[in-house]
Copies of this chain bind each other. A is one copy, B any other.
Amino acid sequence: MITVTAYDAETAFCQTIEDLHELDAIFAKWPTVWVQVREPEKPEVLKLISDAFRIHHLALEDVLTMHQRAKIEQYDDTFFIIVHELAVEDDDISTKQLCLFLGKNYVITFQFKELNSLNYISDRLGNNTGAIRTHGADYLASAVLDSVIDAYFPVLETLGEKLEDLEDEILENPSREVISEIHQAKRQLLTARRTLWPMREVINTLLRDASHSLSNEVRLHLRDCYDHTVELIDLIETYRELGADLMDVYLSSISNRMNEVMKVLTIIATVFAPPTLIAAIYGMNFNSAISPYNMPETNWYYGYPFILAVMLLGSISVLAFLWWKGWLGVMARRSPRE
């Protein structure tokens, strides 16, 4: 599926074409043309396009290979750029590859999946918002890059909020699922970083090398893009450190809970051990009839209640000791429901 958008400062024109030979007429009529190729899998179409725009076969191979690293390459007066859009999908992060050829008066984009950034630019061209129509192909390309980069911000914001939620959860009520969520967040940050770092190089190369072919306005625009990329990388590094830190906090919270479990066990064992021993002693087969030294309490009138009181006293002193040690608070705390 090939969509062609052509425009000058006044009007914009958009058409889905089947026959690539229609392109000649469009190029003849309009100063700037954007050829948008979706799901570029038909070999014969690709052959035609690459012949029409003299695309190097190595670049064409790159277009067809998924999961390329973002890069920029210059073939004669054409720039070949690969960047990635980041999107949240089903609670996970996905990257979508966008290949872009920037020539004198045209931009060709190749995409396998629906890309929001391209749709956004399409809409702006149609509605004539922003100043895209009044500039050339280089401005269109920089607008596409800008739109790709801007789409990173909401994704990272989502990740940042997730990390904050995790932080609250860990400090208040750390369940077992938290660890896999931290791990997932860290993996998503790694993915975002892997796509962003080379994108920064791409824009920097464009800014530095291309002083002659890009207009001043476009360069100011790209400088802004570059600032945004640096800001995003900053943000990712900050989030990564926060994530690593959360892992530590989680580990120490598990240890704290283990401490609590152990304390409960110790309290139970310690409170029941003395009365159980006393009870066992008075269960021994020493008959007070044989010797007056044999458990004289068993002959006392109030012997039994006295011994029960002794047991109670024993347990209470143990509790007092544990209270002095500061352990009793443990009994009043609940674990997270898992």
- Which chain A residues have a beta carbon within 8 Å of chain B's beta carbons? 56, 58, 68-69, 71, 73, 167, 171, 176, 179-180, 183, 186-187, 190, 194, 198, 220-221, 223-224, 227, 230-231, 234, 238, 241-242, 245-259, 261-266, 268-270, 272-277, 279-288, 290-291, 293-295, 298-305, 307-308, 311, 324-327, 329, 333-338
Copies of this chain assembled into the complex: 5
Q: Is the CB of A73 within 8 A of B223?
A: yes
Which residue of chain B has its CB nearest to the CB of A176?
Answer: B256
Which residue of chain B has its CB nearest to the CB of A187?
Answer: B242
Shortest CB-to-CB span from A247 to chain B, Å, is 5
Q: Which 6 pairs across A and B sit closest by C-beta, in order of nearness?
A: A279-B280, A282-B284, A326-B335, A265-B266, A283-B283, A272-B273
Q: How distant is the Cα of A71 from the Cα of B223 in the complex, in angstroms? A: 11
- Residues in B with CB closer than 8 Å to A194 are 234, 238
Q: Is the CB of B338 within 8 A of A334?
A: no
Q: How distant is the Cα of A284 from the Cα of B234 in the complex, in angstroms? A: 73
Known: A290-B298, A295-B285. A220 touches B56 (CB 8 A): yes
Shortest CB-to-CB span from A200 to chain B, Å, is 13
